[in-house]
């Protein structure tokens, strides 16, 4: 426990910039703060801090130690919290990464309800369609669609979404409304999505009564971000396929029109994913349970 205390003291000195301010925030005598840091340096046999009469600066070794120490202290606090009554009131900083469309349409609009329920959790919300490395990027959990490839992570399926084939009224007025997927091969423009990581291009796909058609003809436009993809369809760039929960507000307002409704795509599974060592974390558990709730409440996110 003395090592944990010394680590906390050192981290506070780095963050506050002086021994005096660190001692005040920790409610310890300044001499005790100095003693802890000196003992830590003696044990590690490295100099962690440069001391002047006015300020303390961290050495290169000290900066590296600080980064690891902050993570270890966070893990230690999470473990302590999960095994105590603090479990009932999760707290701490939670780093979450979410795809752009899920963030805009689902997570951000309802985030106030999570913050009201768990006021002691502070969220750092990363929004990107790129796949992040949870371990390297120090991310607590992510919400992602599609089948999972990294079997070392813990995944909980929270929903399934279907796709709709759509175009803008202006586009259909100019090019006509296709009655069959093959109609898109002549006189129509298609907009497809490509992966921002692998650059893989996803063709428009249609299934009906066991028949599968992939539109392999060159696309007019390819986009690698979900919100930009939807905007391209709204602006009349062509025919595309977006999830039904993305299309909902635009179909209702008439900004988009669904075409070929009897032709479908495979459902897209959606998961909340986190590293194995996060299963004890009260704040991760709280967020995952909340995500399950909001997905379960929307029929368009529970398609079968």
Q: Is 170 helix (H, G, I), strand (E, B) or coil?
A: helix
Estimate to the nearest angstrom the gap between the alpha carbon of 167 and the chain centroid. Answer: 29
pLDDT at residue 84 greater than cutoff 80: no
Q: 118 versus 154: which is more confidently predicted?
A: 118
Give exposure, 237-265, as e/b (b: 16+ Cβ within 10 Å): bbbbbbbbbbbbebeeeebbbebbeebbb
Sign (positive or negative) of CA dihedral 65, 71, 77, 80: negative
Query: Tens digits of per-residue pLDDT, 121-145?
Result: 999 999 988 888 877 778 889 998 8
Q: 280 versus 154: which is more confidently predicted?
A: 154
Structure-block tokens of residue 79: 């473990």
**197: pLDDT confidence band, cut at 50, 70 and 90?**
confident
CB within 8 Å of 43: residues ≥ 6 apart? 3
Identify which of 119, 122, 126 has the alpha carbon closest to the alpha carbon of residue 141.
126
Place of tokens 């979450």: 96
Return d(Cα 236, Cα 169) in angstroms, integer: 8
Query: Tens digits of per-residue pLDDT, 3-60?
Result: 888 888 888 888 888 888 888 878 888 888 888 888 888 888 989 888 876 778 888 8
pLDDT at 280: 60
Give the mean pLDDT of 143-169. 88
pLDDT at residue 78 greater than cutoff 90: no
pLDDT at 109: 94
pLDDT at 274: 87
pLDDT at 160: 92
Sign (positive or negative) of CA dihedral 40, 45, 46, 47: positive
User: What percent of the chain lies above the pLDDT cut of 70?
Assistant: 94
Return d(Cα 218, Cα 212) in angstroms, integer: 18
Record the pTM. Answer: 0.67
pLDDT at 53: 66
* Beta strands, E only, the chain: 49-51, 56-58, 92-98, 121-127, 141-145, 154-161, 163-167, 191-194, 201-202, 204-208, 211-215, 221-223, 240-243, 257-258, 268-274
pLDDT at 278: 59
Query: Tens digits of per-residue pLDDT, 254-294?
Result: 999 999 999 988 899 999 998 876 556 788 889 999 999 99
Place of tokens 């602006």: 235
pLDDT at 279: 57
Query: Which class for 16: exposed (0-12), middle (13-18), buried (19 or more C-beta within 10 A)?
Result: middle
Under 8 Å between Cβ of 6 and 40: yes
């Amino acid at each position: 426990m003395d090592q944990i205390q010394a680590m906390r003291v050192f981290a506070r000195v780095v963050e506050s910039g002086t021994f005096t301010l660190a001692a005040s925030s920790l409610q310890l005598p300044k001499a005790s703060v100095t003693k802890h840091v000196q003992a830590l340096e003696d044990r590690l046999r490295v100099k962690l801090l440069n001391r002047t009469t006015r300020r303390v600066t961290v050495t290169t070794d000290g900066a590296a130690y600080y980064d690891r120490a902050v993570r270890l202290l966070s893990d230690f606090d999470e473990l302590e919290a999960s095994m105590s009554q603090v479990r009932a009131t999760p707290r701490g900083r939670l780093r979450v990464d979410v795809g752009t469309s899920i963030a805009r349409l689902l997570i951000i609009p309802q985030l106030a309800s999570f913050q009201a329920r768990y006021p002691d959790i502070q969220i750092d919300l990363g929004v990107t369609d790129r796949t992040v490395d949870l371990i390297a990027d120090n991310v607590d959990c992510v919400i992602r669609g599609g089948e999972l490839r990294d079997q070392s992570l813990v995944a909980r399926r929270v929903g399934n979404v279907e796709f709709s084939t759509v175009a803008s009224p202006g586009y259909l007025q100019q090019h006509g409304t296709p009655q069959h997927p093959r109609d898109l091969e002549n006189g129509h423009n298609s907009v497809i999505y490509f992966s921002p990581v692998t650059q893989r291009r996803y063709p428009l796909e249609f299934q009906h009564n066991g028949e599968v058609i992939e539109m392999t003809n060159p696309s007019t436009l390819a986009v690698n971000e979900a919100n930009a993809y939807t905007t391209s369809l709204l602006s009349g760039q062509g025919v595309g396929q977006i999830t039904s929960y993305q299309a909902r507000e635009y179909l209702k307002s008439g900004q988009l029109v669904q075409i070929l409704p009897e032709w479908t795509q495979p459902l897209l599974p959606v998961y909340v994913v986190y590293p194995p060592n996060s299963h004890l974390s009260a704040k991760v558990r709280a967020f995952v349970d909340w995500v399950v709730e909001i997905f379960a409440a929307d029929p368009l996110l529970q398609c079968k």
